[in-house]
Amino acid sequence: MSAEAKTRADRIYQDLRADILSGRLSAGQRLPFAELCRRYDVSIGVLREVLPRLTEQGLVSAEAQIGFRVMSVSEDDLLQLTEARVVIETLVLRQSIEQGDLGWESALLAAHHTLAHTPVHTAGGDVNDGWLEAHSRYHETLLAASPNRRLLGIANRLRDSAELYRVWAHSLPQAKGRDFTREHQRILDATLARDIDRAVDELSGHIQKTTRVLLAGRGAAEGAPGRRPRSRAPKRS
């Protein structure tokens, strides 16, 4: 692939990803090539490069005889994803703390500083793309000192798969008042103190809190008269 084609593929990848996370493309929605070509003014060849990347992130699924569709969201999938993340990410965090050197600590402090000083929401109330990027970088750096690249790769892919749920959670009333800054600071403090058990507990609680918010929001939606549970990713908030 030429440099120009790669740049175009990267742009379409970012556009498609943003449309999925914002809810402009609904959870479970089919993604026919012809429609995507018109929507993004792009060739099928570029889409064949982009869609597998989104599949690897858990934002798109590929089904025989059907093609690609935006990943569906469900309570069962959320619970399984949360369990997998807690098991894998805490294991990799243990390794990262055991093996991390001064350079890793410095990179982690820098990533946390950027995250702590990036607004979670835009002026319009959407989740800030810059915050999502800083959040991802912080968690990647947290685990980066692990020498097991296989486990590290799995951990990062699982966290990518949670992105749709993460953005969804931000729109719910149950998320209001959640102190993300404090949660991330507590993980950082325990990690830099090399207190492995405390760091693992903090990270585990951080991951599980998003799940509890989502399940509480789902329960509220199902219990409210005249309302139905949301089956699509909401707009960022």
Q: Is residue 10 part of a domain?
A: yes
Do 203 and 110 fall into the same domain?
Answer: yes
Do 93 and 166 fall into the same domain?
Answer: yes
Residue-wise DSSP of 81-115: HHHHHHHHHHHHHHHHHHH--HHHHHHHHHHHHHH
In the predicted model, what is the mean pLDDT of the chain? Answer: 85
Residue that is last in its domain, among 38, 70, 102: 70
Residue that is last in its domain, among 25, 45, 70: 70
Do 143 and 95 fall into the same domain?
Answer: yes
Please report which confidence band the pLDDT of residue 45 belongs to, taking 50, 70 and 90 as the band edges. Answer: very high
Alpha helices, DSSP H, located in the chain: 3-22, 33-40, 44-56, 75-99, 102-116, 129-143, 149-161, 163-170, 180-192, 196-223
Q: Is residue 230 part of a domain?
A: no
The Cα–Cα gap between 126 and 106 comes to: 31
Model confidence pLDDT, tens digit, residues 153-182: 999 989 988 877 887 777 666 667 788 899
**Measuring CA to CA, which residue among 117, 96, 210, 95 is closest to residue 164?**
210
Work out the percent of the chain whose per-residue pLDDT is above 70. 86
Do 83 and 32 fall into the same domain?
Answer: no
Q: Residue 99 is part of a domain; what is its CATH number?
A: 1.20.120.530
Q: Are 108 and 192 in contact (CB under 8 A)?
A: yes
Do 40 and 109 fall into the same domain?
Answer: no
Q: Is residue 232 part of a domain?
A: no
Answer yes or no: is pLDDT of 206 > 90.
Answer: yes
The residue among 1 and 124 whose pLDDT is bigger is 124
Answer yes or no: is pLDDT of 94 > 90.
Answer: yes
Cβ atoms within 10 A of the Cβ of 145, count?
22
Do 82 and 63 fall into the same domain?
Answer: no
The Cα–Cα gap between 75 and 211 comes to: 9
How many domains does one find in the chain?
2
Q: Read off the pLDDT of each residue in 185-200 and give the average, rounded to a whole number.
A: 98
The Cα–Cα gap between 8 and 213 comes to: 37
Q: Is residue 234 part of a domain?
A: no
Residue showing tokens 């050197």:
101
Do 113 and 162 fall into the same domain?
Answer: yes
pTM as predicted = 0.74
Q: Is residue 27 part of a domain?
A: yes
Q: Residue 22 is part of a domain; what is its CATH number?
A: 1.10.10.10
Do 120 and 158 fall into the same domain?
Answer: yes
Alpha helices, DSSP H, located in 117-179: 129-143, 149-161, 163-170
> What is the predicted pLDDT for the residue at 174?
67
Q: Is residue 237 part of a domain?
A: no
Do 103 and 199 fall into the same domain?
Answer: yes
Model confidence pLDDT, tens digit, residues 111-170: 999 999 999 888 877 778 889 889 999 999 999 999 999 999 999 989 988 877 887 777
The Cα–Cα gap between 78 and 81 comes to: 5
Residues of the domain holding 118: 75-223
